[in-house]
Amino acid sequence: MATSVTTQKKLFTVITTHVNADFDALASMLAAQKLYPGAHVVFPSAPEKNIRNFFINSIGYLLNMTDINSIDLSDVRKLVLVDTNQSGRIGKFADLLEQPDVEIHIYDHHPESTGDIKAHRAVYRSTGATVTILLDLIREQGIDISADEATIMGLGIYEDTGNFTYPSTTTHDFNAAAYLLSKGANLITLSNLISREIRSDEIKLLNDMIRSVQRIHINGAEIALTRITRNNYVNDFAFLVQKMIKIERLDAIFAIALMGAKIYIIARSQIPEVDVGKIVKSLGGGGHTYAAAASIKNRTLVQVENKLVDILYQKVKPKIIASKLMSTPSITTDADVTCRQAAELMTRYNINALLVTEKTDKGNESEKLVGYITRQVIEKALYLKLGDLPVREYMNTESASVGPDAPLSEIQDKIIENKQRILPVVVQDENEQKIIGVVTRTDLLNVLASNTKKTTRDMHPTLNGSVHARTKKIINFMHERLAPEIVRLLKHLGQVADQNQCNCFLVGGFVRDLLLYRPNQDIDIVIEGDGIEFARKYARLAGARIHAYDKFKTAVIIFPDNFKIDIASARVEYYQFPAALPTVEMSSIKLDLYRRDFTINTLIIQLNSDHFGRLIDFYSAQRDIKAKAIRVLHNLSLAEDPTRVFRAIRFEKRFDFEIGKLTDGLIKNAVKINFFKELSGCRIFSELQLILEEENPIPTIIRLNDYHLLEIVHPELKLTNDMMLLLNSLKKVLAWFDLLFLEESYMKWAVYFMALIKRCDQPTVAAICNRLEIAPRMQTIFVRGRFKADRCLWEMERDPLIINSALREHLADLKTELILYMMAASGKQKIKKAISNYFTDLRYVKLTVKGKDIKKMGVPPGPVYQKILKATLNAKLNGKLKTGHDERTFAKNYVTKLNLNLNKSIGNGHA
């Protein structure tokens, strides 16, 4: 009887990934093999050329690799999918998905969505690379990996995170990479494979892609579409797309390629509003928010492109919504104010339209929007002598509004269709509309112009135009540049602001100098809210005291070690007339910055805990710092405050910048119209003093003269050749004096000021001091002291032999500033040398002999003591006495000589 032998089929597990596998797919398959020992690793199709070459040459021995053509699908009982969850991307393995006896496991970092493969086990996590997820599981199970395995897995993380630069990168990716380095991952291998050079044939293809690019703007996002045709599949197509998005600085790109009989789409995004994963999924592909791909059969390029554009219009979220575009706080007026008062409001805030509100019956603080009125209507009313009538008589009552989440398209429709200059942004609160901001027609035009690339780098910001603040995190830079105690102080300020529910910003020159790598310890803080109240609360917590200035809504916090920080409320200033002091009102940080002098001084750093270290740039300050340009924020800036002219020149020379062309014209106009005539002398002097305290004020003085600004101080102040010689001499003298490191301070500005007024006579100097409202103590130095110094210098220069005692007598009663001025003003080297000797030696010479020593010599106390000591000191100054014994001997001989002269005088008297 024959025996029948039955051969049992060997069932096994397959690990696979998506078609056109990249390094993350390869790394994930290797990691999955560690979790599923004995499983077969199978590519669903030929991998990317880079992957194939690397695999063949380097790592084939690490994987239990099986060719797909040798796989009998009926033998597969478990299918492990990594880096994909789309049935259309796994080739013929899709046939296993409907088999009831096949268990499906998925590990993927792409987000879940409808249409995903249904799995028995699915692990989805939001990470930059899928291998990061699998590494977490490997570490949890205590599975060891070799250095070669760590290198391959590292390739997956580095490629899919763009060397940790893509927005999808997470802390899990950093931690996974750190673990791989600890296991011996080879960074040289990683670098060689990921940072490879672009080949000549790839350059040609990249140029074709750039030439064929079409840019479309959807909901404020700029999206690039490019398409190419090739007879065969192009390896590393994704690599070129990534290069293009960086070169062209795109928000997002969709590259469509007809290669052979298939159409391939590679998509990359750098903004969350364009989720390329969701968009490409609608075309049968897959991916995540920032990177995705698809392959499409039986469609033409035109069909695919048209379909893609339709999807884009459906899926792209608004990049610009009303709450991001609006200006806040909204400036409103009551319906019963007069047209003349409304005109004053518009001028004060530099706006062209006003929202009109009126009180409701719900309380004094409750208002409702009833319309808006434009400058054009107001000016017409004033022309017709209707200025005393209320604005409700002429306001536009048909006013559209939007919510804070309204997209750009809705904003555009309502402003254009309603011919509405100003669009209120409102929220509904308990059956009541609350105005939270406004979008102006200028806001909209600037956005639209930006989207069509019609803006230029030379455009100057305006209050309503500078809507889009550029922001970036600079926490690491702050830690690098600032002392630890300063960083701790700034963080504490932000924490206290959080407790008081207000925004807190570091502003002004401190931020500017931080980016310019210049030291600055003057910390200025602006609070969106009541700055004085904040200062009081912070001072109590910090054990500090404050000085408050209610008129300007500012305060100074003084710490126990006398370190100070300035606190201000975010405020807006307006000027009743040119050169007037400003009137101050509470405001938002954006309006607060608009009142500042130059764009480079409008940078701020937010200090609140959630946004600590966020640099905010409303008015293109970073652009002007990079261009080394001094620019005003608006054309009336210098008319409002002419002292800004002096600051512009001071900053230009301090930073080696250049005054912008428009600002240069405005300065010349300010001088021509003479806005300075209304300036108090005190304000001019304050700016002049700051200029003369600069490290090298000479270039600034030259620039002041170029603009005829020295004549603003006094017509007699002119930069002559003699003055230039004196200024340059002063620079050398002060540099020499500073290097002596003497423990005495002097007023640098005063020395330079004396050089400026050298050619002026005494009455003119007195007139200049009075014009500048210089303090009487300083006037004494300039009006009397300087002329005394000039006379002293005249006498010294005519003395053929200046002995030390005479030199000290000349200089002993003069202030340091006057002596330095004399040293610089002298044209004779022997005088400079003599004064130098006085500073370094002669003024420190003292006697050891005292009055008590003279008394022992039998001399009765009296005025003669001073005469003896002076004679002894002069002898010592002139080098005749070296020791204390020499001094006593000289004094004794001098006393004897005095007695002889006295006796001789008496004898002659008797005769």
Residue pair 604/503 in contact by the 8 Å Cβ criterion: no
Relative to beta strand 523-528, strand 564-569 is: parallel
pLDDT at 585: 47
- Count the Cβ atoms, other than its own, within 10 Å of residue 550: 9
**CA-closest candidate to residue 789, choices 756, 818, 830:** 818
pLDDT value at residue 467: 40
User: How would you classify the pairing of strands 433-440 and 422-428?
Assistant: antiparallel
**Beta-sheet pairing, 12-16 with 40-41:** parallel
- As given in the structure block, the two tokens for residue 841 are 């030696």
**Identity of the amino acid at 580:** A
262 touches 297 (CB < 8 A): yes
Q: How far apart are CA 680 and CA 823, in angstroms?
A: 33
- Enumerate the β-bridge partners of residue 584: 573
Question: What pLDDT was estimated at residue 68?
Answer: 84
- E-state strands within 544-703: 545-549, 554-558, 564-569, 571-574, 583-586, 604-606, 614-617, 629-630, 658-659
pLDDT at 362: 61
Question: DSSP string of 377-415?
Answer: HHHHHHHTT-TTSBGGGT-B-----B-TT-BHHHHHHHH
Residues 6+ apart with CB under 8 A from 413: none
Region class of 543: left (phi > 0), else alpha (psi between -120 and 50), else beta: left
Query: DSSP labels for 708-733?
Result: T-HHHH-TT----HHHHHHHHHHHHH
DSSP letter string over 168-193? Answer: T--HHHHHHHHHHHHTT--HHHHHHH
CA 340 from centroid of its chain's CA atoms: 40
What is the structure's pLDDT at 47? 60
Predicted confidence at residue 862, as pLDDT, reads: 86
Would you give the DSSP letter of residue 452? T
Q: If we measure between CA atoms, which residue out of 60, 230, 71, 59 comes closest to residue 147?
A: 59
Q: What is the pTM of this model?
A: 0.56
Contact between residue 118 and residue 160 where contact means Cβ atoms under 8 Å apart: no
Give the pLDDT of residue 653: 95
Residue 419, burial from CB neighbour count under 10 angstroms (0-12, 13-18, 19+): exposed
DSSP one-letter code for 396: B
- φ, ψ dihedrals at 288, nearest 5°: -125, -170
pLDDT for the residue numbered 46: 59
Q: Letter for the amino acid at 658?
A: E
pLDDT of residue 635: 74
In terms of residues, how long is the chain?
911
CA 484, chain centre distance (Å): 20
Q: 465 near 440, Cβ under 8 Å?
A: no
CA pair distance 66, 157, nearest whole angstrom: 24
- For 489, the 3-state DSSP assignment is helix
Q: At 571, give phi and psi (nearest 5°).
A: -145, 160
Instruction: Please list the ranges in the chain whose pLDDT falls under 50.
Output: 1-8, 52, 56, 453-467, 574-579, 581, 583-586, 904-911
CA-derived radius of gyration, the chain: 40
Question: How far apart (Å, rounded) are the C-alpha atoms in residues 888 and 855?
Answer: 12
Q: Are strands 503-507 and 523-528 parallel, antiparallel or unpaired?
A: antiparallel
Q: Specify the DSSP class assigned to residue 780.
A: I
Give the per-residue pLDDT at 201.
77
| Distance separating alpha carbons of residues 646 and 119, to the nearest angstrom | 72
- How many CB atoms within 10 Å of residue 425? 25
